[in-house]
Structure 1
Amino acid sequence: MGIKNLIFYTKIHCPLCDKAHKLLQELQKEIPFTIESVDIYKDDVLLEKYGLMIPVIEVDGVEIDYGIISIDKVKKALTNF
């Protein structure tokens, strides 16, 4: 199985997003995965869908967590084969 890609829905000036991104970078030290950051303000559909939820973490097309991110939920999604 290849390296999983995690989609990180975010926006600028978002302290929760900054904190979540740091957690994800720390997690990358123990589990190999890629992070694709998507600025919701560059897509009206995403802005409407995630405006009050960000940050949102998606793995394999499934929303794993949002808001205050649980590293355990993300880790489980990345290691669940």
Structure 2
Amino acid sequence: MCSAEDEAFLCELELMTTVGCHLCDQAVALMQQVLDGQRFAVDLVDIAYDDQLMARYAEHIPVLLCPHTGDELAWPFDARQLSDFAVRVLAAGVAPGQH
């Protein structure tokens, strides 16, 4: 399970972003501060290369999401909201092999 007890497993998150997005840069910096040392792998997903992602997120980036649980955290978010999101994702758990 993707949980606090499973030290070997990395919870995968995705940050919806695009080139030149200064808010996305701020979100990345905040994630580096808050999630540093925790068991998360964050993939940056450039929505410009996917019409569906562009239609869904163009007006809302940056958006952090857990593809396994469907949880999303839209900007603006602060350190506490990001930490709460991380706890929620870990608590939901993701079975190994589903990542």
How do residues 68-79 of structure 1 correspond to structure 2 at under 5 angstroms?
68-79=76-87
Segments of structure 2 that go 5 or more residues without pairing to the other structure are: 4-8, 92-99
Give, in whole Å, the separation in 2 of the partners of 1:58 and 1:11: 15
Equivalenced residues, count: 80
For residue 21 of structure 1, what is the amino acid of its counterpart?
V
Note the C-alpha offset of 1:67. Answer: 2.5
Higher strand share: 1
How do residues 1-80 of structure 1 correspond to structure 2 at under 5 angstroms?
1=3, 2-59=9-66, 60-63=69-72, 65-80=73-88
TM-score (norm 1): 0.85
TM-score (norm 2): 0.71
Which protein has the larger Cα radius of gyration, Structure 1 or Structure 2?
2
> Which stretches of structure 1, 4 residues or longer, exceed 4 Å deviation after superposition?
none
Segments of structure 1 that go 5 or more residues without pairing to the other structure are: none
Note the C-alpha offset of 1:78. Answer: 1.4
Query: Identity rate of aligned residues, in percent?
Result: 28
Q: What is the SS of the residue equivalent to 2:36?
A: coil
